[in-house]
Chains A and B, each alone.
Chain A
């Protein structure tokens, strides 16, 4: 899988470098630069063809749209990954806290109900089995 990305990355880097050189030629154009310009233009098209070929290998790759918002704002897309991980961890901790609290509440409720309604709680435990102490 990494090879697919490496291949695309290589083509993109070559394409970007070609465009950069094209911009340099155009910025101060001379008549002798015409052949070089034509060559760069055709390199640009072959570069697009190469990138188009890479698309088939990556058709199963999904990119979340939120990443594009980061890029459009000029922000590092790794910040999106960082924030996803932080949000996931925070939610994980929140849910774990809820589970722990409800588990404690359940055991406390069962123990208190067992004191008040011992026979009924014995029947309940016979149906659902003994709950492990929290």
Chain B
């Protein structure tokens, strides 16, 4: 068996097509003639991908034996999370349960932010694909311009009333309990009117009552989290 192997790949002295043809394998691989110069490579011998060995090296015991590639220090064999010191991040995001909704990430942001942006044409994707055409700088409004913002007195029409309604937040309850000084309080008049409006709206829509009751039941089922306390952390990491 070893004799056949040696004859196949040839000793330095044995050349020519006698090896494969003697074994009856047909044409087999092309043999390199000894009289070729150092720069003459047969077309079949040139390998575009890897390093090309010198013709003198063709006489070495193994045909087309390439040099091993340079070893990289960093391969998939290493735990890359440990290598890049991401263990803390991994435990933070994958060790604990991350809440699904956007409002859990930004609890202090007003409005209905959990609904898809496509519904009310407020998606970030549309903003990137079609940026609004505007001037390069922001200039304050003059007195003449401000006259355009004179509004009619009275409440908004019903079709626009739902736009500013926020989902019930847990932080309101925690505010009364923990007296958080962080949240800036709105002016008294608007806040009072807002509470009055909310109370009025509660009386007006029985459907909202049912929805809020359901939400309260869900809150009682789950363990009391403190999104107000965690609100500072995600907001601190939101832009990282």
Contact = CB atoms under 8 A, between A and B. Distances in A.
Interface of A: 2, 5-6, 8-9, 13, 16-17, 20-21, 23-31, 34, 36-38, 41-42, 45-46, 48-49, 52, 61, 65, 68-69, 71-79, 81-82, 85-86, 88-89, 91-92, 94-96, 98-100, 116-117, 119-120, 123-124, 127-128
B148 to A, nearest CB: 10
* Chain B interface helix/strand/loop/mixed: loop
The residue among B164, B234, B239 with the most chain A CB atoms within 10 A of its own CB is B239
Contact of A37 (B6, B68, B149, B237): B149
Contact of A74 (B116, B138, B193): B116
Contacts of B90: 85, 89
A28 B93 contact: no
B156 A120 contact: no
22 contacts: A5-B240, A16-B109, A16-B110, A21-B186, A29-B151, A29-B154, A30-B153, A38-B141, A38-B146, A71-B124, A72-B116, A74-B113, A76-B98, A78-B98, A78-B105, A78-B234, A79-B100, A82-B93, A88-B81, A96-B76, A100-B77, A124-B61
Contacts of A77: 102, 105, 238
Contacts of A42: 140-141
Interface residues of B, number: 72
Contact of A85 (B89, B100, B154): B89
A52 B98 contact: no
A114 to B, nearest CB: 12
Nearest to B182: A13
Given A30-B153, A79-B98, A24 B194 contact: yes
Contact of B102 (A37, A48, A75): A75
Contact of B81 (A89, A94, A117): A89
Contacts of A81: 89, 93
A25 B194 CA distance: 9
A46 B137 CA distance: 11
Given A38-B149, A88-B81, A76 B141 contact: no
Contact of B187 (A21, A69, A73, A124): A21
